[in-house]
Structures are given as structure tokens and as C-alpha cells.
Structure 1
Amino acid sequence: MKRVEITSDWPLPPKGIRLLSPKFLVEAMAADPLSQDLYPLATGFYPQAQNHRMSRQQSANYLLIYCTAGLGQLKAGKRQWAIKAGDIISLPEGLAHSYRADTNQPWSIYWAHYSGTLAREYSQRICAGEPFAQIGLQPRLIADFEALFTLRRTGYSTDAYIHSACQLKQMLSFIAYTAQRYQPQHGQSIDLSKIEELMHLHLGDSLNLQALADDANLSKYHFTRKFKQLTGHSPIQHFIHLKMQHACQLLDSTANSVKQVAVETGYKDAYYFSRLFKQVIGISPSEYRRSKAA
């Protein structure tokens, strides 16, 4: 069992939080099948962390930092990043690093040290090999951190800590998903939310690749490549997936015939629609309607 790394000795203010998992609970989470893949070693919140700084030659575990206000700086390897509100720091085990709050506008940060058999995979998914990502201010994530802090009132309950491990897994997967989709608009990046909004506006008709690329001010080739990097699918395939999701909603919430649902999702040929539906969903529209159950 690796030693739980003690966090910085920054003096905790009245509104600050620093919560360390006791050794016996770390061992319990590491042994339990529901939490052994990822579990918290320490979590906390440092508000307006004046003079906060930390330097490690080799981290003994994984660390996540979420800046919600102010400024800071991260150094890892030979690179450095200016940190602002909405930025994520995700540091893997073993990476030499240092970070500090800005002198004039010290950051406020939520943080979590964690470990587990899948900790490496969770960390890599967040930043794709980089120790820095941007997700913007996410009230949901702040609420999730606050939920973790309820452990202070559980009397070191094993069940509560295993539940917190499951919460942490949900938080990290949400960060990874949000970081993938968050695209600050500079250079040749694309606004995925804007593209999906355009797709949603055309669920009942058609939309070709040229129109999507034009909306992103990119060539079809570059648009398709960047879109697939973000979603794992081509733009048209993603559009079809959105259409099939809409079709499922119509099959669930209306008594419309399959032919009517096809028309409402932009397909005049009900047979072609049914083939596409089965390719994506795995069963035909009629089978889907018969098989749905509460």
C-alpha cells in the first residue's frame, strides 16, 4: 500500500477544507470491488489561497485541481501554464511538478488526490497526455466536490467512503467528457455545441457536410478530421445518431406510425429509415416500440 501523500502545509482558513482519508479506509476502498479501481486519498477546497504553493519531485499518487477563481501557475517538466478560473490541472503519478497561486489574484481551488487500479486511465482521459485542460466554470462539478465533503460528517463510515469513490469516478468522467467538448474559439478549432445546435435544428430534414463545414468556416476535409477527433464519429454519422435518438423519443412519446416517425426525422422512405435505425439501435423501430418497458 502506497503512503497517502500529505498535501501542502498551507495554513487552512476558516472556510477552507482539507479532508484526508484514514489509512484503514484507504485499505478498505482499495480492497472493495466497487471502489478499488479509483478512490480518494484526500480532497479539499482552498479559497483565495494567498501564498499557496507546492513542489514535488515525484508525486506518489494522482492529483486533480479545479480552479474556480483567481489565477495561478503550473510547471510540469519543461513546460508551464498560466491557470485561471475554469482550468483543470491533472497530474499523474510520478510526474515532477510545481504550482502556486498568483500573488495579486490568488486562486481558489477544489482538489483531490486519488489512486486505484484505473487511476492512470482516468487521468489520461481528462487531459489526453497533458497536465492541463479547460472546461470553464461548471456549477455541477462544484456541487459534486461539495458532496464529497459531506464525508466530514459520516464518522469514517466505510460505506460512505466507498460511495464517495463512486462519486469521484463520476466526477472524473464528467471532467473528461466536458474537456473534450470545451473548445475555446481561437485558430482553427470548432465549436461543437454550435454545430450540434445546427444539427438539432435540422433533425426533421437534411443537412450535408458542406453546410456543416461552411458553418465552421473550414474545408470539408479539415472539418471532418477535427470533428472526428472530438466525437469519434464523422459529422454525418453523428447527425444520423442524433436523428435516431430523436426517433426513439418519438416512438416512446407518441403513437405515430413508423412511417410518420421516419418523415419527422427527415426520411421519406420508411424502409431506408428502418434500416438506418436498426444499424444504429440494433433493432427495428417496431421491435423497439414493442420492447420498451418501465
Structure 2
Amino acid sequence: MRSTEFKVSPQSDYYVYTPSALARKLYLYPLLTGYFIYEPGYFIERNHFDNFLIMYISKGTCTVSAGSQSYTASAGQFVLLDCYHPHSYGSEDSWEAVWLHFDGPLARAYHDEILSECGPVIAPAHPEVPGGLLSRIYEIFCTSSPLEEHALSDYITRILNSLLFSGQSKKRSALRTSSITDTITYINEHFHESLTLTTLAKQANVSPYHFTRIFAKETGMTPHHYLIATRISAAKFLLKSSGTSIKEIAFRTGFQSETSFCNTFKKWEGCTPSQYRSSGTLSPSAF
């Protein structure tokens, strides 16, 4: 559909989509998409427009306002806006953008995470990746291609992931991206052993204090908390899928005694290992 919006070139077009009930329940879904050539002086201000907006600036520069803050977005950059709240964008000069209004069960969580990492204007190192995906969504509508909602959701998810991890990669040091990941792998493989903070920090080649701070930043848990969570998860699997004694499970999952295991398990799960085991039915082949 050709645009008749004020100060938008008539060469611009957009497409409207109504998602199915299933898409609204499960997917990220498009609502409107288009490619606009904005003429000098274009400006739009809305109190709310119930969805989220991604714009990829292909030419020129625009000013974006979200809340009380203003930002500048230039060619090669993305804009992500929560249109449920007051927002505006425009420029005194001409500019162009491919854009997508979208929503879905995970839309707000994605928006909030990207906003915390990058702000509403994102400058990926390789904008052609999310830009190509956004253009692909527009082209599907522009060429009247078959609309497969799961595929559209996949495109939107990949765009958002690309923006999210682009922002994270700029904020994270080599330690965050490699050493912490390596340490998590090490814990998953050695949780049954006696692991100390000093041991784990040595694996990451940093001081225990620095390691604890960055590990908590990356995972939301202290190293000790993560280790106990891993041991409890392994214990729950053994309790539900084998006839191994509780004492043996305690030692196989890294606890120093059966008493320590039972006390920790009850603190985490609200029941004893025996109660957890008896709450479900074991397959006879497990004994």
C-alpha cells in the first residue's frame, strides 16, 4: 500500500498484517512493515501505539525520543522503541528506513534487555545481518510471498538476538565472553568434585574477587550458587531416574556427606530427597 502520510515520499509503501490466535499466543509476530523515504521536516509524535518498533536507517539521520531522552540514529544503525509509551522521531533532513511494528509474548522482555545493553539506538558491527533479515520480512509482504508465521517469528527473533548480542559483545571483555563460559563448562563437568572459589578463579585466571563479580554479572548467580544449583539438578535426575541410594547420590553429586546433601536439598526444594523421590513413580527398569 502506497503511503499518503505527510512528508513521506509517495514512492514509500507499507503492509498491514493481522496475526492468528496461535501466533499471538506463541510467536513474535509482525503487525506493519514498510520502507519509507522521509522528506525533510518529517516528524511524528505518539503517546502510545500498542506494539514495538524496529527501524533500520538505510540513509540519512534522524532524531529519536523515548521518554525524556533524545538520541541520534544514522545510516547503518537500528532504532528499537517501546511504542506503548510516548515516543517520537523525525529529522529536518531527508532519510530512509525499513521498519517493522511487531509484538508477541517475549517482545517486552527482548526490548527491555536490549535497552539495558544498548539503549534505543543500536550500532551493530555487522548491520547487514539484522538489516538483511528486516528487509527480508518487508520483501515477503512486498512480493506477496506465502506468509508462514513461524518463519516470520524466526526472522524477528534472529533480528532481536543479533541486536542484543551485538550490544553485549561491546560491553563484555574477553574474560566475560570466553573465561566465564569455560568456567561454566568446567563446573558442569566437575560438579561432583570438591570445587572451591579459588579453584574456579584459577581456571579463569583472575582473582577470586574479580571472578565472583563478573560471574555474578554474567549468570545472575554467585559461583557457589551456580555450583549448588548444578549439583541439585543432577541429584534430582538421579532421584527420579534410578534406584541409587540417597547416600550414594550425595557423594556422586559432590556433597561431603548424606546429611549435608539432605539439608541442602530441603533448603532448595522444600522437601527431603526421599520425599522428592516418592512424589513420582519410578520406572521398574530403574531399579
The TM-score normalised by the length of structure 1 is 0.56
Asked whether the 8 Å contact 1:65–1:90 carries over to 2, the reply is yes
Residue 91 (structure 1) aligned with residue 80 (structure 2): yes
Distance 2:165 2:199 in 1: 26
Distance 1:249 1:179 in 2: 32
Within the candidate set 198, 219, 225, 1:231 is matched to 219
Residue 186 (structure 1) aligned with residue 173 (structure 2): yes
Letter in 2 for 1:196: I
Asked whether the 8 Å contact 1:258–1:285 carries over to 2, the reply is yes
- Seq. identity, %: 26
2:194 aligns with: 206
Residue 287 (structure 1) aligned with residue 275 (structure 2): yes
Letter in 2 for 1:63: L
Asked whether the 8 Å contact 1:190–1:226 carries over to 2, the reply is no
**Alignment RMSD (CA, Å):** 5.6
Distance 1:287 1:233 in 2: 27
- Deviations along 1:208-231, one digit per CA (max 9) or x if unpaired, are 112222222332222222222222
Q: CA deviation at 1:59?
A: 8.0
Within the candidate set 30, 40, 48, 2:30 is matched to 40
1:271 aligns with: 259
- Deviations along 1:107-145, one digit per CA (max 9) or x if unpaired, are xxx985314798545411234162438799xxxxx99xx
Within the candidate set 185, 195, 210, 1:222 is matched to 210
Asked whether the 8 Å contact 1:127–1:179 carries over to 2, the reply is no
Distance 2:175 2:235 in 1: 33
Letter in 2 for 1:249: F
1:62 aligns with: 52
The DSSP-based 3-state class of the residue aligned with 2:176 is coil
Letter in 2 for 1:280: W
Q: CA deviation at 1:204?
A: 1.1
2:231 aligns with: 243
Asked whether the 8 Å contact 1:183–1:189 carries over to 2, the reply is no
Letter in 2 for 1:288: Y
Asked whether the 8 Å contact 1:90–1:126 carries over to 2, the reply is no
- Deviations along 1:178-223, one digit per CA (max 9) or x if unpaired, are 8499657636535332121011121111211122222223322222
The DSSP-based 3-state class of the residue aligned with 2:102 is strand
Within the candidate set 93, 108, 123, 2:111 is matched to 123
Distance 2:75 2:203 in 1: 31
The DSSP-based 3-state class of the residue aligned with 2:221 is coil
Distance 2:32 2:161 in 1: 18
Q: CA deviation at 1:237?
A: 0.3
Distance 1:272 1:193 in 2: 28
- Report 1:12-161 matches (<5 A): 20-22=15-17, 25=18, 35=25, 39-42=29-32, 61-64=51-54, 78=71, 89=78, 91-92=80-81, 93=83, 94=87, 96=89, 112-115=100-103, 119-128=107-116, 130=119, 131-132=121-122, 153=146
Distance 1:292 1:223 in 2: 39
Aligned length: 245
The DSSP-based 3-state class of the residue aligned with 1:189 is helix
Q: CA deviation at 1:261?
A: 0.9
Note closer, same or farther for the CA distance 1:287–1:181 as it changes in structure 2 (3 Å cut).
Answer: farther
Distance 1:39 1:280 in 2: 38
